[in-house]
Amino acid sequence: MLGIDAALWHHYLLLSTFVLCPVILLGLLFLPAAYGRHAQGRSAIWGPGIPTRWSWVIMEMPSSVGFALIYFYGDKATDVVPLLLFMLWQAHYFHRTFVFPFRIRVKPGQTTPASIPLMSVMTNSVIAFLNAAILSWSSIRADYDLSWLSDPRFILGIVVFAAGWHINRKADALLSALRKPGESGYKIPHGWLYERVSCPNYLGEITIWCGWAIATWSWAGLAFVFLTIANLVPRALQNHRWYQQQFSNYPRHRKAIIPFVL
Ligand SMILES: NC(=O)c1ccc[n+]([C@@H]2O[C@H](COP(=O)([O-])OP(=O)(O)OC[C@H]3O[C@@H](n4cnc5c(N)ncnc54)[C@H](OP(=O)(O)O)[C@@H]3O)[C@@H](O)[C@H]2O)c1
């Protein structure tokens, strides 16, 4: 009974995610999420502020700890391929939850409006359930046997994931290094992929989840690709426009997120 209920929940949450993605994309195109540079002067209507580092930890907790709890609740959690996919997911989200928030340079007293982590906790919980359950719950999917290790989709997915992971990590590290200790302003990033696009960190993030969707060959993975695009493409366009407005010497040939295209 629990199995049937869980499968139905999974089905409807998956459908809801696909339906919500275009709504989120359109909403964020017109109303930038009020954190970081786009919070200035707008934070009050997005709720009371909580310290930015802790906001990151809270909102990513469902994707790391929540994902692990859901995964290990499954009956196939100790199988080899699900475990490898679990580690792949955590390679990104353990860092994002427990390392990244303490590497960024924040202003003393910098806060993020509470509605941002609140909304992220909700969407990240759904995404964690959708993606963890397909790995280890046989009532939902969990059909990754050892033959999946030599499947071209698994191998290609890992390669794409690793490429995205490298781009995302390096781009975030270059941004963090722009500010010297005690600084809180913005500078033009230069070098590497920043010569091509304003937001290579977002490009890397989308690539990571494309890799995940290929490696798991799942609707849940595809739903997460769409949700990441819905969140980050509007943000990249807004960051790009913001740079052009702030810096008269901003490189003209640079695109927002896809080299030579967008
Ligand atoms: N999966 C998803 O849907 C999703 C959603 C959101 C974010 N993310 C990921 O989370 C990470 C951070 O995202 P984000 O939106 O916070 O990225 P971001 O706007 O690029 O900011 C990242 C950090 O760098 C600082 N920074 C940005 N541009 C700077 C500049 N020109 N000069 C000096 N410092 C600068 C920011 O400071 P301020 O805080 O002061 O602006 C912040 O501390 C990215 O890897 C992103 O891919 C994923």
Question: Mutate which of 175, 212, 238 to test ligand 1's pocket (most atoms within 8 Å of Cβ)?
Answer: 175
- Give 30 Cα–ligand 1 centroid separation in angstroms: 19
Quote the ligand 1 centre to 4 CA distance (angstroms). Answer: 40
Return the residue whose CA atom lies nearest to atom 38 of ligand 1: 36
Q: Answer yes or no: is the C-beta of 25 below 6 A from any ligand 1 atom.
A: no
Q: Residue 179 CA: which ligand 1 atom is closest?
A: 33
Supply angle C-alpha 49, 122, 101, rounded to 5.
Answer: 50
For residues 12, 135, 90 and 256, what is the CA-based torsion angle, rounded to 10 degrees? -50
Distance CA 177, CA 183 (A): 11
Q: What is the pLDDT along the chain (262 residues), one digit of tens a residue?
A: 455 689 999 999 999 999 999 999 999 999 999 888 998 766 667 778 899 999 999 999 999 999 999 999 999 999 999 999 999 999 999 999 999 999 999 988 889 999 999 999 999 999 999 999 999 999 998 789 999 999 999 999 999 999 999 999 999 999 999 999 888 899 999 999 999 999 999 999 999 999 999 999 999 999 999 999 999 999 999 999 999 999 999 999 999 999 999 9
Residue 119 Cβ inside 6 Å of ligand 1? The answer reads no
Q: What separation in Å is there between the alpha carbon of 116 and the centre of ligand 1?
A: 14
pLDDT of residue 183: 86
- Cα 99 to averaged position of ligand 1 atoms, centre (Å): 14
Which pLDDT belongs to residue 44? 63
Which pLDDT score is estimated for 3? 52
- Output the pLDDT for position 17: 98
The residue among 203, 205, 215 whose CA lies nearest residue 260 is 203
The pLDDT score that the predictor gives to residue 108 is 87
> Residue 105 CA: which ligand 1 atom is closest?
43
Nearest CA residue ID for atom 32, ligand 1: 186
Evaluate: CB of 212 within 6 angstroms of ligand 1: no
Q: Tell me the HSE value of 137 on the side-chain side, using a 13 A CA sphere.
A: 22
Q: Tell me the pLDDT tens digit for each residue of 198-211.
A: 999 999 999 999 99
The vertex-40 CA angle with 28 and 168, nearest 5°, equals 60
Question: Ligand 1 centre from 199 Cα, in Å?
Answer: 9
The residue whose CA is least distant from atom 45 of ligand 1 is 201
The answer to whether the CB of 190 is under 6 A from ligand 1 is no
